[in-house]
Amino acid sequence: MQKTIIVSYSGGLGSFYAAHLCKTRYPEAEIKLVFTDTLIEDPDLYRFLRESAKALNLELIEIADGRTPWQVFKDVKLQGNSRIAPCSKILKRETFNKWLKENYPNGGFVVCLGIGWEESERLERAKINNPYEVIAPLCDKPFLFPEDTLRIFHEYGLKRPRLYDLGFSHNNCGGFCVRAGLAHFKNLYEKLPEVYQRHEQEQESLIKKNPKLDKPFLKKTIKGKTEYLSLKTFREKHLELNELEKNDFGGCGCFIDE
């Protein structure tokens, strides 16, 4: 591959394995890791980010819009939700695209995403919704299976990010995500109560200052009717989940959806 490969380096395992495959499959290519910081990341993400970049022997570039998701919600007058996530759009995609435009005004690059083969439909959406060539080596054969990723990880001698060990499916935004479901936020409350409390306070402050932004992102079916729950209401009244809700983790879709 002649073009520079820009890896959207999230600090999660997917983008790490994708960067490893780029280095393995395209040994002559220039590869850069670009991390877009939402400023609410788990402290251990930064440890893994820098240790893994060093292990890969690749340049790590850290960029940020300068706002947190809650500051974005205030500025755009909308709480993010599973359908519309201005935090993802502004803090991730627009910040990343601005950096690309400033550093590669004439193109000459491809963007690598850490999308796994089991969710390859996300790659097709990413290709449609981004104005540049996108690759996802984890979607290409031969596929990496759990035993392969475990072997690769240990070969680098790395310790994986702590959020995975705490039961989170990704290492983004410190365990917070407006696209996540009830089970995800129950886990956040139980494993990282101080983080949950901080986001609860941010939400209450946002609603108090902007009463029109009172429609939260969590929703639950109560007596056949869908009700939207604030983090405070969920914590106080609805932490007990039914069997269906216990699988309601939701997911992050940064760089994918428009």
| 250 vs 31, residue with greater confidence | 31
* Structural domain contains residue 169: no
- Give the angle subtended at the CA of 170 by the CAs of 252 and 254, to the nearest 5°: 30
Average pLDDT over residues 37-47: 98
pTM of the model: 0.93
Whether 42 and 159 share a structural domain: yes
List phi, psi (to 5°) of 36: -100, 115
Contact 55, 37 (CB under 8 A): no
- CATH code of residue 156: 3.40.50.620
Angle between helices 182-191 and 193-209 (to 10 degrees): 120
pLDDT band, very low/low/confident/very high, at 80 (cuts 50, 70, 90): very high
Per-residue pLDDT at 251 exceeds 90: no
Task: Count how many domains the chain has.
Answer: 2
Whether 84 and 194 share a structural domain: no
Tens-digit pLDDT profile for residues 115-143 = 998 888 889 888 888 889 999 999 998 88
* Structural domain contains residue 84: yes
Whether 180 and 131 share a structural domain: no
pLDDT band, very low/low/confident/very high, at 255 (cuts 50, 70, 90): low
Per-residue pLDDT at 252 exceeds 70: no
Whether 70 and 122 share a structural domain: yes
Which residue in 59, 3, 56 sits closest to 29, CA to CA?
3
* Structural domain contains residue 32: yes
Whether 226 and 139 share a structural domain: no
Which token pair is 255? 């760089």
Which token pair is 35? 């991390």
* Structural domain contains residue 26: yes
What is the structure's pLDDT at 254?
61
Whether 145 and 225 share a structural domain: no
pLDDT more than 90, % of the chain = 76
Per-residue pLDDT at 172 exceeds 70: yes
* Structural domain contains residue 219: yes
